[in-house]
Amino acid sequence: MSTLKLYFFKRYIVTVIYFLIGIFSLVFIIDFSELSSRMGNLPGYTVAGGLYMTTLRIPTILQQTVPFVALFAGMASLISLNRRYELVVTRAAGISAWQFLQPFVVGALLFGLAALAILNPIAAWGARSAELLEASWGSSSSRGSNSIPWLRQIQNGDDAIIGARSVEDEGRLLNTVTIIHLDQQGRIAFRQDARSAKLEDGYWQLNEVTETRSGVLPKRLKTARLATNIRPELVQETLGKPDSIQIFELPRKIAVAKSFGFPTYGMQTQLHSLISLPLLLVAMTLIAASVSLKFSRFNQSRSVILGGILSGFVLYVVTMLVKAFGSSGIVPPFVAAWLPVVVAMALGSTILLHQEDG
């Protein structure tokens, strides 16, 4: 890279770092306050534990803000260069906009790759660790699942329906568990209520169990085992969320889910969305350039910059909406992930071509 391009590249990277630090600080304060008010009355909660859980949850939130960081960093960098007349001097030296935008595009690509290779695995690990920590505090309202999970198994003639209030650790740990055992006629034989159930190799490990049978006083057990032929992969694919799986594990998870006959629209959409993230950041950078390059020279109003911010938000909302369609199978996952990115890049390039080359 030439000296000028390297200078622009450094300015962009430094601006991205500043935005990440600012968002991290702001989100940390807000999330810790919300976490303290929501879990402060739990028996295992401590201030140090709350700070640690907030730290674990921050990467997941930062991952959602990456497109906006790319948009705002691109706008801030270009506006700053323009107001200092550095872009004016660059244009006067015969360098076109397409040439001095190359460092920003390269920076956006590298930022997207870093988000995939570093931030995404950390966010997946942090989300799982935070759920386990919340369960250890005695919380009964986990965010591991959006609905009450139900599983059914038949093992050694025992037909059992397993229900739980919440799910942790990608489906391996169930909280506030109810197990209904059925006889051969399909009637309820007895019931087991447990504080938690952890899936081990060949059995469910139940903790703090209350066993209830008709005409018999409830029996309390500290631990109990329930034999099962359910594999951990089956529970993970049935109850796990695609957003909690890191990108390097998604291809294997998709293959396992297909082998069990489960639909994989959600995981395929998530995989393609992650792969398209670097190009989505490039599209955000082109949108930022379309509203920032001529702001200082032609004294454009702030409404133009607000229009760029609004365009970025609209692109993000459309991306999430189409992603939801892909996860439900209405739209093919590949199309749902890549169509908004391709359209946004085409529109950004078209606007810049019109502004710079007529």
User: Mean of the pLDDT values across residues 64-92?
Assistant: 87
pLDDT at 169: 67
Give the pLDDT band (50/70/90) at residue 12. Answer: very high
% pLDDT > 70, the chain: 87
pLDDT at 147: 45
Provide the residue ranges of all domains of the chain, joining segments of one domain with +: 3-139+265-357, 150-236
Q: Is the pLDDT of residue 54 over 50?
A: yes
**318-342: pLDDT as tens digits:** 888 888 888 888 889 899 889 989 9
- Phi/psi region, residue 304 (left: phi>0; alpha: psi -120 to 50; beta: rest), is alpha
Model-level pTM?
0.75
User: Mean of the pLDDT values across residues 299-320?
Assistant: 76
Beta-carbon contacts of 58 under 8 Å, excluding residues fewer than 6 positions away, are 24, 27, 28, 31, 126
